[in-house]
Amino acid sequence: MSAGRFAPSPTGAQHLGNARTYLLAYWSARKAKSKLVLRIEDVDSPRVKPWASQQAIDDLSWLGVSWEEGPDVGGSNGPYLQSQRMPLYRDALQTLIRTDRVFPCACTRKDIQEAGSAPHFDHEPAVYPGFCAGWKQGDALPAEGTYCWRFRAGDQSREFTDLVLGSRECVPAVALGAFPVTQKNGEPSYQLAVVVDDAAMGITEVVRGNDLIASTFRQIELYSALGLQVPRFAHVPLVCGPDGRRLAKRHGDTRLSLYRERGVSPAKIITWAARSAGLIDEHTHVENIESAIEHFDWSKIPERDTRVETDGFQ
């Protein structure tokens, strides 16, 4: 069975940009009669806010978004909090160690920033200079807590066809370099956790912001190294403020919880999302989340990020 998913990180409040991405994921899945899974990506422990998971669930429910599996409704692929799935990530790491796809790396961010080459993608760290890559199975490990495991990115070209952006290609070793699959504290990196979970939960379609394109190439490397099925990807445009920069606090408060408290109707947000994503014209209104499904089509979604004036909802 086909499946889509929502994967909020409870590191802060969900805002308009997140809402539009979730709505597109919802419309696509419902149109295709796929099931939907809600997974809370709470492995980045220092940044996780205790209130943010429940708030994300409340915000999504308020918009009318529903799911068949999740931390609140259960399901056969749980648990649905990444913090409760550590054994799966550890197993995947063991496979990568055993098959010599990773090496322990004690470099600091500064080491890499100073010696690494320029990244080929925007907003990405410098390409890892390879200092620790000579490690071999059986060599000693650095002291506990001082190293991460880094994946040896492949030097073969990787290609995938995005539902919004079309064909994308890069050579991971050159464009991205070796990348971490764990943090120094032993937690899995986002890249490893997301691949293990999307595969284990049977996710066939991943919808997310186009700022994650570089990550997708990393994840395709991991799917391949772990022998897992790669899902389809749709990288949707980001929502930007009037200055063309990614929507953030400087553009005013666009938290969904604020609109909810102020009595803004979900239909307003849903209509804005459908219009700004190119699904309906300026004169069309949608009454609720379900009535937008018929307008949904990936071919209508623009590649370019969207600029919005957001004051209209307040």
3-state SS track over 281-294: CCCCCCCCCHHHHH
Decide if 198 contacts 262 (C-beta within 8 A).
no
Decide if 214 contacts 48 (C-beta within 8 A).
no
Q: State which residue, 41 or 221, has the beta carbon closest to ligand GLU.
A: 41
Under rule CB under 6 A, residue 235 binds ligand GLU: no
Residue appearing with tokens 């219009």: 275
Among 7-15, 98-106, 107-115, 255-263, the segment contacting ligand GLU (CB under 6 A): 7-15
Q: Which residues 262-281 are close enough to bind ligand GLU by CB under 6 A?
A: none
CA–CA dist 219, 291 (Å, integer): 34
Backbone angles phi, psi at 240, to 5 degrees: -115, 160
Member of 23, 57, 181, 194 binding ligand GLU (CB under 6 A): 194
Q: Which residues 9-38 are close enough to bind ligand GLU by CB under 6 A?
A: 9
Which residues lie across from 247 on neighbouring strands?
A: none
Member of 3, 4, 8, 112 binding ligand GLU (CB under 6 A): 8
Q: How far is the CB of 141 from ligand GLU (least distance, A)?
A: 29
Under rule CB under 6 A, residue 221 binds ligand GLU: no
Q: How far is the CB of 61 from ligand GLU (least distance, A)?
A: 18
Member of 3, 4, 7, 196 binding ligand GLU (CB under 6 A): 7
Q: Judged by CB under 6 A, how many residues of this single chain contact ligand GLU?
A: 7
Q: State which residue, 41 or 187, has the beta carbon closest to ligand GLU.
A: 41
∠ CA 255-260-262, rounded to 5°: 100
C-alpha distance from residue 23 to each of 70, 105, 109, 124 (Å): 17, 39, 36, 27
CA–CA dist 107, 127 (Å, integer): 13
What x/- string results for residues 33 through 72 when contact with ligand GLU is judged by CB under 6 A? --------x-------------------------------
- For ligand GLU, the binding residues (CB under 6 A) are 7-9, 41, 194, 208, 212
